[in-house]
Structure formats: C-alpha cells, structure tokens
Amino acid sequence: MSMSFPCALRITLRGLAQIFLLRRAASGLLVGAGVLLASPRLAGVALLGSALGAALAWLLGRPREEVRAGLHGYNAALAAMALQVLYAPPFLALVWAAVAATLAGVLWRGVRGWLVPVYTVPFLLTAWIVMALAPQWSLQPQPLPAAAADGFGLGAGLLHGLGQVVFVQSVPAALCAVAAIALESPRLALRVLAASALGLALGTLAERPAGDLSAGLAGFNAVLCALALGARASLPACLAAATGATALSLAAQGAGIPAFTAPFILCTWAALLAARHGR
C-alpha cells in the first residue's frame, strides 16, 4: 500500500514527538525545530531515523495504527542521533546511523509483547551493541564537547535537562521541547520542569561537576520519568521514580558507564509494576 508524502511526513514528525512520549505531529515539528536550531546535521539524522523506522515497520506489516502514531520512529531516531553524536567521521556515522535505525525497528518487534511498555529499550540495545562493535566497524569515537558552565549556570541546567533527551545542550532547543509538551498538556510541562529541577538538585548534592550540571546531564532521566508517569501514576510514584533514575544516572556517570536511558526505563518499570501489584 502506497503512502502520500504528507502522511509520511506526519508519521515521521510523530516519531520525533514520541521521543518525549507525545502524540501530535505538531509537537514533533517543535521537537525537530529545536534540534535544528542546535544542530542542523543532527536534525537531519533524527528525521532520517524516524522515517527509516516507520518505513521498516510499514514494510514488515506492523499494525498501521502503531506506524501512524510514530511508535516505530522514535527509537530509530534516537539510535541514529546517538551514533551521529558519538562517532566520526560524519559521513560514516550517517551510514551506520541508517543501519542502527533499521536494527532499532527490528528490535521493537522482539520486545513488543512485554508486560511493561517498551519505551527506549530498542534504542538502548542498539546503542550498546554498536558501541561494542564500533572498532570492528571502523567507527572512530568522536570527542564530545566539554560540558562547561555558562553565563546561565544552573538555570541553563534546568532547561538542558530536556535538551539532553535529544542529545543537545541548547536553551532554544529545550524551550521548543517545553512548548511541544505544553501543547499537549501544560500541567505535564510543569511537572517535567520540576523533574529536571529535582535532577539538578540531586546532582548538586552529589557534588557533580558544575559543567555537567549546567549541561543538563543530571536531569534528563528524571524528565523522561515525568513524561512517562505524569498521566499514569501518582505524584509520589513519579517522584520516587525520578529520584531513583537520577541516582542511577549519576552513579553511572561517575563510573564512566554509558547508561543512556537505562535508569529511566528501570525506575519507570518499577513504578508501574508496584502500582499494578498494589491494586
């Protein structure tokens, strides 16, 4: 079955929206615009990943409502962006980003029947697999820009906690993310900002470097917990998950472990399973 370009574009944009667990193409447009402001190359890779993930799911005969909702695009987009950020040269990273996007779509099929939401598991597994095999694939690690405290200090860290969800350290990109969330739920946007503030506070108490705090590295897993649980769990459950995810994230960063979104996944699953058994 063929698909019109406007329909394919909406699906691709919904894939970007689903990175923040949002549903509207307009929200995905705001997310994509934010990434574009921070890094045009990264924005292109994100669109490529989302489109590839959706196309693969469509060709594999996945339920059309899932594809149209963008559920097969966001993990592929995240995997593609992660490779672009982590590896050089840019052209080779783009090639393997396309491969990672395809792998993320395949992994989605393998975990789709789990009792808990899939969230970013396909992206996480893809990132770890590619990092393990990178030397064999001639992928050279790209030096990451040093996180540096800027004029905005911890205030920037509050917003960067949202930007780091899409691998950028950019106040305009974070503001676009806030706008995307507020478009669907102003209340959720406030809860997400509070979660980022919680991560920032815990990072400060843990005496993480000021540059890391300003970069938002302490807050992005808490942000994801708030997005996932904001409409599905009580405030105490959301707070507990965000706190646990931040603690795990900070511990992994201190140990030099690339945890990515693993703390968010584990703590959100724990909150959902606890709520289920508590009924």
Both 133 and 232 in a single domain?
Answer: no
The identity of residue 35, as a single letter, is V
Asked if residues 52 and 79 have their Cβ atoms less than 8 Å apart, the reply is no
Note whether 120 and 224 are same-domain residues: no
Which pLDDT belongs to residue 250?
97
Regarding whether 22 and 104 lie in a shared domain, the answer is yes
Work out the mean pLDDT of the chain and round it to a whole number: 89
Is the pLDDT assigned to residue 107 strictly greater than 80?
no
- Residues paired with 87 in a beta bridge: 141
166 in a domain, yes or no? no
What's the 3-state SS for 71-139?
CCCHHHHHHHHHHHHHEECHHHHHHHHHHHHHHHHHHHHHHCCCCCCCCCHHHHHHHHHHHHHCCCCCC
What pLDDT shows up at residue 146? 54
**Tokens (6 digits) for 148:** 């540096």
Q: Tell me the whole-structure pTM to 2 decimals.
A: 0.93
Is the pLDDT at 21 greater than 70, yes or no? yes
Q: What percent of the chain has pLDDT over 70?
A: 90
User: In this structure, are 46 and 132 located in the same domain?
Assistant: yes
Residues 64 and 132 in one domain: yes
Per the model's pLDDT, the better-predicted residue between 99 and 50 turns out to be 50
Greatest alpha-carbon pair distance for the chain in Å reads: 55
Summarize the confidence of residues 166-170 as an average pLDDT. Answer: 95
User: CA end-to-end span of the chain, whole Å?
Assistant: 44
Residue 149 has pLDDT above 50, yes or no: no
Given a contact cutoff of 8 angstroms between Cβ atoms, the answer to whether 198 and 239 are in contact is yes
What pLDDT is stored for residue 148 in this prediction? 47
Q: Reply yes or no on whether the pLDDT at 80 is more than 50.
A: yes
Q: Is residue 152 over pLDDT 60?
A: no
pLDDT tens per residue across span 199-230:
999 999 999 998 899 999 999 999 999 999 98
Give the CATH number, domain containing residue 66.
Answer: 1.10.3430.10
78/160 Cα distance (integer angstroms): 17
Cα separation, 49 vs 3, in Å, equals: 18
Query: Residue 241 belongs to what domain range?
Result: 185-277
Q: At which residue do the structure tokens 């969800």 appear? A: 165
Give the distance, in angstroms, between the CA of residue 236 and the centroid of all CA atoms in the same chain: 23
Are 15 and 90 in a shared domain? yes
Q: Which of 107, 120, 97 is nearest to 48 (CA)?
A: 97
- Tell me which residue of 241, 225, 243 sits closest to 274, measured CA to CA: 241
For residue 94, give both structure tokens: 């783009």
Could you tell me if residue 206 is inside a domain?
yes
Do 132 and 190 belong to one domain? Answer: no
Q: What is the three-class DSSP state of 141?
A: strand
Residue 233 above 60 pLDDT? Answer: yes
In this structure, is the dihedral angle defined by the CA atoms of residues 93, 250, 125 and 51, taken in order, positive or negative?
negative
Q: 196 and 94 share a domain? A: no
Q: Is the peptide bond before 143 cis (omega within 30 degrees of 0)?
A: no
Confidence of residue 193 (pLDDT cuts 50, 70, 90): very high
Q: What pLDDT is recorded for position 145?
A: 60
Q: Are residues 30 and 128 in the same domain?
A: yes
Asked whether residue 198 is domain-assigned, the answer is yes
Residues 16 and 70 in one domain: yes
Q: What is the pLDDT of residue 134?
A: 86
Both 191 and 133 in one domain: the answer is no
Chain centroid to Cα 191, Å, comes to 17
Q: What is the pLDDT of residue 150?
A: 46
Claim to verify: residue 123 and residue 210 sit in the same structural domain: no
Q: Does pLDDT of 97 surpass 80?
A: no
Which of 115, 141, 167 is the endpoint of a domain?
141
255 within some domain? yes
Quote the tokens at residue 196.
């980022």
How many structural domains are present in the chain? Answer: 2
pLDDT (0 to 100) of residue 95: 73
